[in-house]
Chain A
Amino acid sequence: MNLGILDYGAGNLRSVRNAFLAVEQPATFVSAPEHFDALDMLVFPGQGAFGDCVRQLQETGLWDPLKKWLAEERPYFGICLGYQLLFQNGEENPGVEGLAKFEGSVVRFPAQPGLKIPHMGWNKARFTDAAHPAWKGMGDDETFYFVHSYFPQPKDASLAACTTDYSGEFVSGIAAKNLLAVQFHPEKSQKAGLTLLKNALEYLGR
């Protein structure tokens, strides 16, 4: 199985590759449009700001092949911005269009007394359907590492694979045909995170 990690020139991808290696799956970096051809599964571990990420994907020529990959429903695993960018737009950079695979916007946690932003640390993901293959080997919920100030609000509620409480409940992960995407960082979530990566490989990489 050829696993590719999208490399648009920002952030540290080493930890994502290390985490996949820990579950015995090597990966290559995808930094040019022609790199998509040989792939069986794509991981998009975005970090940083919504608008910057869109701009960098466009500048590196990765935007169009990425959109095509999603339109063809090829196996996709999104982490953090790789989850947020699947939606239409984000409050972080109004006017910038996301990948628009799904309807919905990415919004900021509301300012509330005592609510720290970013949402940083370990929090529970409550599984919408604990029998989903993504959650194999886990219970009804599991604790993962989060660090983000924005989160998507999918218009189609049936996309939700898990939800998390922080100033109310938000959708912290989605599942669709050949697609999983989560707000938290499985590559930083010790055993639970590695279990999810292993499950994702089995579920998406078949």
Chain B
Amino acid sequence: MLTKRIIPCLDVHDGRVVKGTKFLDLRDAGDPVECAVAYNNQGADELVFLDITATSDERRTMVDVVERTAERCFMPVTVGGGIRTVADMRKMLLAGADKVSVNTAAIFNPEVVDEAASAFGCQCIVVAIDAKRNERGSWTVYTHGGRKPAIRDGKELDAIEWAAEVCKRGAGEILLTSMDADGTKAGYDLGLNRTVSEAVTIPVIASGGAGNLDHMVDVLRDGKADAVLAASIFHFGEYTVGDVKRHLQKHDIPVRL
């Protein structure tokens, strides 16, 4: 049986991990490669690097991080943040990333998803969707790190429709972040995850809101997500990847131990 994936996410700025990463056994918890290795040793199923830098100089630093990680971690690695073109993607894939994630660039130029899928295969292309509940009872896509609603043809872009569109265009996976739940530690948005997961035929990674282990059970079972992504609950040393997996197994959710 296909197991549910547990995916730690590392925010990287100028070659260093930002937000606290607490590894008792690491000499340098700010080095993304050291953190990646620590998560690898904890049994993480995949890893995401989110590059939050702005300049191309610093982006070269990210290429170096990916290259060094690929020498020591034998698990799938996704790189997201600031990736706009097929050329940007190629750079990261050649450095050793297995997948690249696009967000805002795909909204302004949806063809980039088609181009990337045909250049590298859809398995490499993750489309990240930041969604926020609206007063109509559905969810709107947001851009620029969740600051602006995405507008298309004069209307707010609907998250479910957008998910179905990128699936058709060749995305291999959706990384779905609830702007309402993100940072609250009050649990994932189960309605959002379930609705998107049922609207597409590709896997959905749930993100935003993880505060405890039961939240992960909820989103994988009731939210119908295929994987969970989490940052702070791992970085601050509250739980290890192993803790999450043992808890999920207790609740009859298939995991790789």
- Residues on A facing B (Cβ under 8 Å): 11-12, 14-15, 18-19, 21-22, 47-49, 111, 115-124, 143, 145-148, 165-166, 187-190, 193-194
Residue of A nearest to B255 (CB): A122
A116 with B70, Cβ < 8 A, contacts A147-B123, A190-B40 known: no
Q: How far is the CB of A104 from chain B (nearest CB, A)?
A: 22
Q: Are A187 and B74 in contact (CB under 8 A)?
A: yes
Let me know if B122 is at the binding interface, CB within 8 A.
yes
A188 with B75, Cβ < 8 A, contacts A15-B70, A18-B96, A116-B203 known: yes
Report 19 cross-chain contacts, Cβ distance below 8 Å, ordered by A residue. A11-B93, A12-B94, A14-B67, A14-B70, A14-B94, A18-B96, A48-B121, A49-B121, A118-B122, A119-B2, A120-B123, A121-B4, A121-B45, A121-B226, A122-B5, A145-B75, A147-B76, A165-B1, A194-B74
In Å, the complex CA distance between A47 and B121 comes to 8
- Which of B74, B120, B121, B256 has a CB less than 8 Å from the CB of A143? B256
Chain B residues whose CB sits within 8 angstroms of the CB of A14 once the complex forms: 67, 70, 94-96
Chain A residues whose CB sits within 8 angstroms of the CB of B134 once the complex forms: none
Q: Are B70 and A166 in contact (CB under 8 A)?
A: no
Residue of A nearest to B40 (CB): A190
In Å, the complex CA distance between A19 and B70 comes to 9
Q: State the majority secondary structure of interface residues on A.
A: mixed
Q: Are A166 and B2 in contact (CB under 8 A)?
A: yes
Residue of A nearest to B172 (CB): A118
Let me know if B71 is at the binding interface, CB within 8 A.
yes
Let me know if B36 is at the binding interface, CB within 8 A.
no
The total of Cβ contacts below 8 Å across the A-B interface reads 89
Q: Are A193 and B74 in contact (CB under 8 A)?
A: yes
Q: Which of A120, A146, A190 has the most CB of B within 10 A?
A: A120
Let me know if B3 is at the binding interface, CB within 8 A.
yes
Q: How many residues of B contact A (CB 8 A)?
A: 32
Q: Are B74 and A122 in contact (CB under 8 A)?
A: no
Q: How far is the CB of B3 from chain A (nearest CB, A)?
A: 5
Given contacts A21-B71, A121-B2, A147-B123, 16 further A-B contacts (CB under 8 A): A11-B93, A15-B70, A22-B74, A117-B201, A120-B226, A122-B45, A123-B2, A124-B1, A143-B3, A145-B75, A145-B76, A146-B2, A165-B1, A189-B74, A190-B74, A190-B75
Chain A residues whose CB sits within 8 angstroms of the CB of B166 once the complex forms: none
Let me know if B98 is at the binding interface, CB within 8 A.
yes
- Which of A12, A48, A116 has a CB less than 8 Å from the CB of B96? A12
A12 with B93, Cβ < 8 A, contacts A119-B2, A188-B75, A188-B76 known: yes
Chain B residues whose CB sits within 8 angstroms of the CB of A122 once the complex forms: 2-3, 5, 45, 256
Chain A residues whose CB sits within 8 angstroms of the CB of B173 once the complex forms: 120
Chain A residues whose CB sits within 8 angstroms of the CB of B1 once the complex forms: 123-124, 165
Q: Are B3 and A121 in contact (CB under 8 A)?
A: yes
Residue of B nearest to A22 (CB): B74
A121 with B5, Cβ < 8 A, contacts A12-B94, A48-B121, A116-B226 known: yes
Report B70-105 residues with CB < 8 Å from chain A CB: 70-71, 74-76, 93-98
The 9 A-B residue pairs with the shortest CB-CB distance, nearest first, are A122-B256, A147-B123, A48-B121, A143-B256, A116-B203, A123-B2, A122-B3, A14-B96, A121-B5
